[in-house]
Amino acid sequence: MLTIDQTTHDAIVAHAKRDHPDEACGIVAGPAGSDRAERYIEMVNAAGSPTFYEFDSTDLLRLYRDLDDRGEEPVVVYHSHTATEAYPSRTDIDLAGEPNAHYVLVSTREHGNNPGPVEFRSYRIIDGAVTEEEVVVVPQLEASTP
């Protein structure tokens, strides 16, 4: 199960709508070894494509250095689908390299960047196996305990 706060959920949806008709992408970082999606990080889709996303390699290197410095890791890896359902494509599955991450997909196919609901779904992708999981949106994450 993915537990995510309302502000982060809304930021992911807003990013997906804003970048439509191209795919949007980013991560939500949290303390290494935890399952706490705490720090929203919007990335640029270097592919600039409606059917594919790619993190810029320089941005990705900078991101991972920053995560290491902060003792964080990607808790959520998200991207949008602009013309299909919020389900991982074969390419998405092949590129899923974070076995501890929640892979969130947002489909903007119905309303594009106009007002209206989106599909917001989360998956675990491990060794090519895709498992959908429940998404719980809370007003805010409970305070972490030391």
Strand 102-107 vs strand 119-126: parallel, antiparallel, or unpaired? antiparallel
For the chain, domains (ranges, CATH) are 2-138 (3.40.140.10)
Give residue 5's pLDDT: 97
Segment holding 53, helix H or strand E: none
Instruction: Check residue 130 and give its pLDDT.
Output: 97
pLDDT at 107: 98
Is the per-residue pLDDT at 143 higher than 90?
no
Given phi > 0 = left and psi -120 to 50 = alpha, else beta, which region is 128?
left
Residue 128 has pLDDT above 90, yes or no: yes
Q: Does the pLDDT at position 142 exceed 90? A: no
The pLDDT of residue 118: 95
**What is the average per-residue pLDDT within 90-110?**
95
CA gap 145, 114 in Å, rounded = 40
User: How confident is the prediction for the chain on average, in pLDDT?
Assistant: 95
Q: How confident is the model at residue 45, as a pLDDT?
A: 96
| CA–CA gap between residue 126 and residue 93 (Å, rounded) | 9
The mean pLDDT value for 108-126 works out to 95
- Average pLDDT score over residue span 114-143: 95
Strand order in the sheet with 39-43: 39-43, 25-31, 72-81, 102-107, 119-126, 129-133
Question: pLDDT band for position 145 (50/70/90)?
Answer: low
Segment 71-82 shows an average pLDDT of 98
Q: What percent of the chain has pLDDT over 90?
A: 96
